[in-house]
């Protein structure tokens, strides 16, 4: 039996971008910041910059689920911002590195399910 083809729309597939500024003045604050970074990595996020992490999800429901998980793991101090945008919008990100424009990042061809 053949499985039906599933069309994954670039407007339904989404990216989550988590940006944060966490205090690191004390040992306990540094630990909390490190624990939050580790949490994001364990949740399947990739580090884009030191305090910017991104993850690919399948739709708004998956986005809301991830936001809830992040909210439960927030450190007691600091600022965390979460953005979401479609896969089509993600393809339009312009990235410079050492004053050179980098090629557009290729998006995953399949979803990783855990």
Q: Which of 36, 26, 48, 27 is nearest to 79 (CA)?
A: 36
For residue 67, CA distances in Å to 3, 7, 25, 86 come to 32, 25, 27, 16
pLDDT digits (tens, 9 = 90+) for 4-38: 544 455 557 899 999 999 999 999 999 999 999 99
pLDDT of residue 2: 59
- Give 77's DSSP letter: S
Name the E strands within the chain.
Answer: 13-21, 46-49, 52-58, 79-86, 96-97, 100-101
Residues in the chain: 114
Categorize the per-residue pLDDT at 114 as very low, low, confident or very high, splitting at 50, 70 and 90.
very low
| Helices marked H in 26-75 | 27-42, 60-72
Categorize the per-residue pLDDT at 1 as very low, low, confident or very high, splitting at 50, 70 and 90.
low
pLDDT digits (tens, 9 = 90+) for 55-111: 999 989 999 999 999 999 999 999 999 999 998 888 888 888 888 888 776 655 544
Average pLDDT rounded to a whole number, residues 35-44: 98
**63: which residues sit within 8 A by CB, 6+ positions away?**
14, 16, 57, 84
Q: Which of 111, 48, 26, 104 is nearest to 40 (CA)?
A: 48
């Amino acid at each position: 039996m053949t499985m039906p083809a599933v069309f994954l729309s670039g407007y339904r597939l989404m990216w989550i971008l988590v940006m944060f500024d966490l205090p690191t003045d004390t040992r306990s604050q540094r630990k909390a910041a490190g624990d939050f970074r580790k949490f994001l990595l364990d949740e399947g996020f990739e580090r884009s910059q030191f305090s910017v992490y991104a993850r690919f999800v399948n739709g708004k429901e998956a986005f809301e689920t991830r936001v809830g998980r992040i909210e439960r793991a927030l450190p007691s101090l600091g600022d965390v911002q979460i953005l979401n945008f479609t896969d089509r919008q993600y393809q339009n990100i312009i990235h410079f590195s050492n004053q050179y424009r980098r090629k557009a990042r290729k998006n995953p061809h399949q979803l990783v399910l855990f």
